[in-house]
Each structure stands twice: as C-alpha cells, then as structure tokens.
C-alpha cells in the first residue's frame, strides 16, 4: 500500500489518520514548506493569502510536538478576531480527536473571564485565543503562557490594523529567550517590521504566491454603474444569480446597513457581518450563516479577513475597496480549493481609478452589463479613456497648424479654431486609414 503524502513529514501516525479523515490528498505549498520548519522548531515568517491551508500548516506540527505528559502550555496561537480564533480552535479540536490526551482551550473576549480563570486551573497544552484575553489571564499568573516554547501569530497585518500588536508584544515578552515564533501575514507592512526585528533573529522567510491558483478558479466580472443605480443593479444581479452563498462587500458600515435595509425592503433576506455588531450579535449571525439561513450576506472589509465562511460561491463588490489589498482578501472568500467561484465588481466613474490599480496587480476582468436579465459583454471600461487619450494626443499635434492659419485674431476665432482643428483631425484620420489599408494589402 502506497504511503500517504503527509507521511513524508514524519508526523505521528495519529495525525496522519486525522489528515486522511479530512481527505487531504496532497499538502498545499504552504504546508509543504512550513510543516518541516516548525517541526525543527525554527522561527519563521510566512506570507500567504487566505485559502492556502495555512491553519493546518502550523497546527499539525504544533500538535506533533506537544508532549501529552507535560500538563502545561507548550504552544500559544493568537488570532486578531474572535471568529478567526474560533476557527483555529475548531481545526485543533478535530486533531485532538486523533491525538488523545492533549488539552486545547480557547480564550477570547466577549466571554466570562471568571469562568476562564476557573478553566485554566487545569492548564492546556495548546492555547488558542485573542491576544487581549490571553494577556488578561497571563498577567495575574492564571495562564502559564511563559512556559510555552512556540508562539504562532496569525494574520499579523490585521493585528496591526486592529491595534493589537502591542498586546501580542506583551505575550512575546513573557516567553523564554529560547522560545520560537512563527508569524503569518497576508502582507508585511512597514509597521510590522519593529516587532519582527525585536523577536525574530534570522527567521526563515516563506512567501506563497497563491493568487494565480485562486484566479484560475474565479471568474472576474466588472459592471459599470452610477450613484443610486448601484442598488438597482444589485437587485437585478440578485435576480440573475442563484448562488450557493454570496457575500456582498461594502466599504463602510453605513453602506452595509443601507444596502441591507433596501434589500430587506425588496423581500431579500440577508445576513449581516460588520464591526458594529456586538459579540453576541456576531456570534448569532455566524451561526445562522453557517446553518445556510441566508443566500446573501452583506459584510464590511473586516469580514474579508476576520471570518472564514465555507461554501462561498459568489462575491459581489458593491463598493470598490479603497485599500486595494482588500480586493484580494474579498475575492479570496470564493474559488477555494478545487471549487469554482465568481467575483463581480460594481464600479462608478469615480471608482474607475481603483479598478485600474487592481488590474495592474494582474487581475483580468470581463466587462459586462445587465441586459434583458443576462450578463452581456460590453466594451472595456478603459476603452473610452484610451480613445480620449489618443484624441488628445492628435489635438496637441495639430494645434500649431491651425494657429499658423489664423495669424490675426478676429471675432468668433474660437469657433473657427475649433472647426479648423476638427477638419485637420478628420483628414489626419483618413490619411492614417489609407496607410493602414495599403499595409494590409502588401501583407
């Protein structure tokens, strides 16, 4: 019988069984490169987008390294949001079904801290949670974080965005000098460098270029719109689509709330995820989303990083993101693994510049519009701009010729100037067309 591909990592047999149960046939690139490094207890920086198998890339080797006989924290994993921490805990909980006698506990805000203090009387070997709650338990000596030999920081750039990097710093400070740190981040902003320089000496750097694979799995569409017509077009789009699950992204809570209100008034039941919800409301919404109570979920950009919803078949960008990095995070919600996805971006004239910036990053769109209840191909959004630039260039070339012919300024000279300029441009275009026809005949 052939060996399972994950056996090449020398993971213990119980974890190979866990991997088989997950139907992982081949390790992803990040798993291939990260698992051996963590098993060797090396510090590293991993740069990768969502949907690359990152969670198992660090949780499998951490679980392999944990000694069930040592009843103290051996590894700590911190995530920037409660939802992300919960997802990591769920992954780890599946692994401990196979590796027995390992205790994994979740510590996040919005829960009873008195109850958490009771729970840590039996110290977990693997600690997963948000940095603030872990610090709250560690500073009074309730949670023995200082004994951990490995710290994993997930979504480090989001830690920066949410102002949590100082809390992470406090956790790292508690560790022994011999402890190792793995930092995972979609991007490595300059604001993260001081932390990396402080705690990671000569770390392994692993960068995963996964966007190409994601793009292969996703169809990208651009739909032009103006002002309030955006809502009308969204409603028409919803009539056309029949998604398994669609996330509609807005740039702000206000836009999300307003869109949700208008869709609800139109008889469309929508879920809602954004930073304005209370922890209890977010938890309830996530439960309902995972129970497939909604076909459409409206979300802010925090949701594109802070939550992981399975089975997203479509993404609609109601607003083009102000921060172009968020486009990758948004569309990364769909087309994951072997599944196909559709990402549709509605754009108004003032958002066209950001669309061009997205295209410069390698994204290729099909330009479409909604006609007779279908998506129909239209001219590229930048075709008019390109034509205008060519026309402007021709105008500048011919202006001096018109000026020579109008040495004396007379009444009505502006209209005459414009008329003469247009006549010259028309002659120039005809001459160019003749030259092209001659070339074609010769060819």
Give rounded-to-5 percent helix, strand, coil for the chain: 50, 15, 35
Close Cβ partners of 277 (under 8 Å, ≥ 6 residues apart): 285
**CA gap 347, 251 in Å, rounded:** 12
Distances (CA, A) of 92 to 15, 26, 122: 11, 19, 18
Residues of the chain with pLDDT under 70: 1-2, 50-51, 210-215, 227-228, 302-307, 337, 382-443
Which pLDDT belongs to residue 428? 65
Which pLDDT belongs to residue 304? 59
For residue 428, give both structure tokens: 């120039």
Which pLDDT belongs to residue 435? 59
Which pLDDT belongs to residue 1? 46
Helical residues (DSSP H) of 145-228, grouped into ranges: 156-161, 165-174, 193-199, 211-217
Which domains does the chain possess? Answer: 5-209 (3.40.50.300), 212-377 (3.40.50.300), 399-438 (no CATH)
Angle subtended at Cα 158 by Cα 154 and Cα 162, rounded to the nearest 5 degrees = 125
Q: What is the pLDDT of residues 71-82, one digit of tens each?
A: 999 999 999 988
Sheet holding 341-347, edge to edge: 270-273, 296-299, 246-249, 314-317, 341-347, 218-224, 366-371, 374-377
**CA gap 100, 68 in Å, rounded:** 8
DSSP labels for 49-63? Answer: -TTSSHHHHHHHHHH
Please indicate, yes or no, whether the overall pTM of this predicted structure exceeds 0.85. Answer: no
């Amino acid at each position: 019988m052939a060996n399972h591909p994950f056996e090449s990592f020398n993971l213990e047999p119980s974890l190979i069984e866990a991997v088989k149960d997950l139907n992982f046939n081949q390790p992803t690139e990040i798993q291939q490169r990260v698992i051996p490094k963590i098993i060797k207890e090396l510090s590293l920086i991993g740069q990768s987008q969502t949907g690359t198998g990152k969670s198992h890339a660090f949780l499998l080797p951490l679980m392999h390294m944990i000694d069930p006989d040592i009843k103290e924290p051996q590894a700590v994993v911190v995530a920037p949001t409660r939802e992300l921490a919960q997802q990591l805990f769920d992954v780890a909980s599946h692994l401990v079904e196979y590796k027995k006698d390992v205790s994994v506990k979740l510590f996040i805000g919005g829960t009873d801290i008195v109850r958490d203090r009771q729970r840590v009387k039996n110290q977990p070997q693997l600690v997963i949670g948000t940095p603030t709650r872990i610090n709250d338990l560690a500073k009074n000596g309730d949670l023995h974080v200082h004994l951990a030999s490995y710290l994993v920081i997930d979504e480090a750039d989001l830690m920066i965005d949410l102002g949590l990097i100082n809390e992470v710093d406090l956790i790292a400070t508690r560790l022994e000098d011999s402890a190792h740190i793995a930092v995972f981040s979609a991007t490595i902003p300059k604001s993260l460098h001081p932390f990396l320089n402080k705690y990671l000496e000569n770390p392994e750097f692993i960068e995963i270029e996964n966007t190409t694979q994601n793009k292969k799995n996703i169809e990208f569409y651009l739909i032009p719109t103006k002002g309030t017509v955006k809502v009308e077009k969204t409603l028409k789009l919803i009539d056309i689509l029949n998604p398994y699950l669609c996330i509609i992204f807005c740039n702000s809570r206000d836009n999300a709330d307003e869109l949700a209100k208008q869709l609800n008034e139109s008889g469309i039941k929508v879920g809602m995820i954004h930073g304005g919800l209370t922890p209890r409301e977010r938890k309830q919404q996530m439960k309902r989303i995972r129970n497939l109570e909604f076909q459409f979920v409206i979300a802010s950009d925090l949701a594109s990083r802070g939550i992981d919803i399975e089975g997203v078949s479509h993404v609609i960008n109601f607003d083009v993101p102000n921060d172009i990095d968020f486009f990758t995070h948004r569309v990364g919600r769909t087309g994951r693994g072997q599944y196909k996805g559709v990402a549709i971006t509605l754009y108004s004239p003032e958002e066209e510049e950001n669309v061009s910036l997205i295209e410069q990053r390698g994204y290729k769109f099909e330009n479409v519009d909604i006609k007779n209840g279908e998506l129909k191909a239209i001219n590229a959004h930048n075709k008019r701009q390109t034509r205008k630039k060519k026309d402007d260039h021709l105008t500048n070339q011919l202006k001096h010729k018109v000026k020579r012919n109008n040495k004396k300024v007379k009444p009505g000279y502006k209209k005459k100037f414009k008329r003469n300029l247009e006549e010259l441009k028309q002659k120039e275009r005809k001459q160019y067309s003749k030259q092209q026809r001659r070339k074609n005949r010769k060819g």
